[in-house]
Amino acid sequence: MNRMENLYRQIIMEHYKNPRNKGLVDDERYNKSHIRNPSCGDDVTIQTLVEGGEVKDIRHEGSGCSICCSSASVLSALLKRRPVEEAQYISTQYVNMVSGQSYDTDVELEDAEAYQGVKQFPARIKCATIAWQAFEDTLGGDDDE
Amino acid sequence: MDLDFDIRADFPVLDDETLVYLDTAATSLTPHRVLHKMNDYYRKYSANVHRGVYRLSHEATELYNDARRTVARLINAEEDEVVFTRGASNALNMVARMLAPYIQEGDEIITSELEHHSHFLPWQRIAKERGAKLIFVPLDQNGRIQLQAFKNVLSPRTRVVALTHVSNVMGYLTPIEKITELAHAHGAYVSVDAAQSVPHMEVDVKRIDCDFLAFSAHKMLGPTGFGILYGKRKHLDAFEPVEFGGDMVGIAEKDTLTYQKPPLKFETGTPPIAEAIGFAEAIDYLEEKGLETIREHEKRLAEYAHKALSGLEDVVIYNKDADAGIITFNLKGVHPHDVVTVLDDDNIALRAGHHCAQLVMQWLSVAATLRASFYLYNTRDDIDRLIESLKRARDFFKDAGL
């Protein structure tokens, strides 16, 4: 597998072409976060429905490169129907993985494992994490931005 | 005459023979000569300017002042019309701040969608503060500023005309001399963003007759963090400084001060001394090669690249008739970031994004583009390598189903 194939795994391209949970809903119960990367124009909106401590639904919309758009789809499939704390924990492990930091390898990242190659492309880490940041924002954790 | 330069050896970054650098519109490479000159300052006469009466400070001051003379000569300005700044963005912001007190409610500021953020956002801000109106020159179908379109928006309320000389995305040359003449006939000030023109062609501020003109050192073989604001002497005399402190002040008392004469009036604090000296060396280097010769070289490269890119299936070029060595394009169906990652894998440096010019992107109705830009160190080989890599990117993403 060459460097390009290592980055652009089939699963990633598949999610890019056929995104899951795409399209926002007009429902006040959802929390929404919109992040735009001002340097490249990647633009992601994540909506989550949290009820009874569980992430009941995740929707996404946006435009950008394949890494950015596909990761929003992968995130929605992976974290839907999880307890908030677990979803938060998995998200942190994913972000650590793609940015080359240590992470809990016991966590099942499923399709998100495919983004392992990103850490070898520092210029693309932002693309791979922007949707996840938006997701974490919808959980209302960090209010520092 | 073969206009290709054999100068790769002058640029340390190009010691990596596999590197193809096509992002000069963002920042240029720096030759050994410039680096040595800046190093010399820190190694041999690292003293402050305009202060010490000892030999080292005198030496530093001499070279620093020489740098101002070199810049003045380059653009045919007077020495006291050349203000040293932190870069073109800083200079353009200063112009907006200097003119702000003269903007009345209902005044009009003419700008364009081709502007870099640094020339449009300061005026957007001033317009809001002063209750003025921001007017955009309608671009023609290719995205150019045409004289007639400018005439149509010019009015007795026009107070400022803030336009780019050469667009950093489209590579179009604005008919700035005629625009300036018309603007002056209406009593408006003209501010020119020359960040993409001065490095690539002979620019004469007296011929343009603009009131202000700005450019950056790092786009023309010089250091980052340094740039030039040219202002007509009468304006620099009349307008208030925008920053206060050491160097710009004459006599300071508890509740009053006098200013130094321009350009010092607009320069406060210890300046970037090594940068000024390095920039002068960069100008000397460019003048030895000849700016018009460089321009011809870039033009030929751009023609060659346009031809090669046009022959490539799935490439969309947005500025086929560019006047400068800038080509803005996309690979159909593939996001520019994905393309540029493949190019990077082949050690080709190219810009992908909105190039600090989101209004142009909106005008083109695209989120982002690829941009290749050329300078004197680029060759036809660089373009051949680019084409090969683009083919690889196209095939790779086709195989992936895009």
| Residue-wise DSSP of A104-144 | -TTS--GGGGGGGGGGG-GGGHHHHHHHHHHHHHHTT----
Residue B381 and residue A52: Cα distance in Å, rounded?
62
Cβ-nearest to B341 among A7, A13, A17: A7
Task: Give buried/exposed letters for A103-121 (b at 16+ CB in 10 A, else e).
Answer: beeebebebbbbbebbbeb
Q: Does A3 touch chain B (CB under 8 A)?
A: yes
Q: CB-based burial of residue B48 (10 Å sphere; 0-12 exposed, 13-18 middle, 19+ buried)?
A: middle
Instruction: State the DSSP string of A16-41.
Output: HHS-SSBS----TTSEEEEEE-TTT-
- Provide the pLDDT for residue B4: 59
Q: Which residues of A touch B402 (CB under 8 A)?
A: 13, 16-17, 66
Contact A8 B396 (CB under 8 A): yes
Q: Does domain B33-287 have CATH number 3.40.1440.10?
A: no
Smallest CA–CA distance, residue A51 to chain B, in Å, is 35
Note the CATH number of domain B8-23+290-399. 3.90.1150.10
Report H helices in B241-376. 273-289, 291-310, 336-345, 358-364
User: What ranges do the domains of chain A cover?
Assistant: 3-138
Residue A143 pLDDT: 40
- CA nearest B351 in A: which residue? A40
Residue A27 has pLDDT above 50, yes or no: yes
pLDDT for B113 equals: 97
The confidence score (pLDDT) of residue B107 equals: 98
The CA distance from B323 to B209, in Å, is 21
Which residues from A are below 8 Å from B349, CB to CB? none
Q: What is the CATH number of domain A3-138?
A: 3.90.1010.10
The catalytic residues of B are 356
So what's the pLDDT on residue A142?
44
Q: Which residue matches tokens 């899951």?
A: A20
pLDDT at residue A36 is higher than 70: yes
User: Are the Cβ atoms of B341 and A13 closer than 8 angstroms?
Assistant: no
* Structure confidence by residue, pLDDT tens digits, B237-284: 999 999 999 889 999 999 999 999 999 999 999 999 999 999 999 999
B132: left (phi over 0), alpha (psi -120 to 50) or beta: beta
Residue B360 Cα, gap to closest chain A Cα (Å): 13
CB A41 within 8 A of CB B368: yes
Pick from B344, B353, B396: which is nearest to A41 by CB?
B353
User: Do residues B230 and B75 lie in contact, with contact meaning Cβ atoms separated by under 8 Å?
Assistant: yes
Spans of chain B, pLDDT less than 70: 1-5
Asked if B183 has any chain A CB less than 8 Å from its own CB, the reply is no
Nearest Cα to Cα of residue B377 among B36, B44, B53, B7 = B7
Q: Is B227 helix (H, G, I), strand (E, B) or coil?
A: strand
CA distance B356 to chain A (A): 8
CA distance A14 to chain B (A): 8
- CB contacts under 8 A, B 61-80 vs A, are none
Identify all chain A residues contacting B339, using CB atoms and an 8 Å cutoff: none
Residue of A17, A43, A63 lying closest to B401 (CB–CB): A17
The number of C-beta contacts closer than 8 angstroms across A and B is 52
Return the pLDDT at B90.
98
Domain locations in chain B as residue ranges: 8-23+290-399, 33-287
Identity of the residue in B342, B345, B367 whose CB atom sits nearest the CB atom of A41: B367
Interface confidence (ipTM) of the complex? 0.88
- One-letter amino acid identity for B299? K
- Nearest-angstrom CA–CA distance, B228 and B239: 17
Q: Which chain B residue lies closest to A118 (C-alpha atoms)?
A: B341
Q: Do A124 and B352 touch (CB under 8 A)?
A: no
Residues A85-144: tens digit of each pLDDT = 999 999 999 999 999 999 999 999 999 999 999 999 999 999 999 999 999 999 985 443
The answer for B 382-401 residues in CB contact with A (under 8 A) is 396-397, 400-401
Compute the nearest-CA separation of A139 from chain B (Å): 28
Give the pLDDT of residue B280.
98
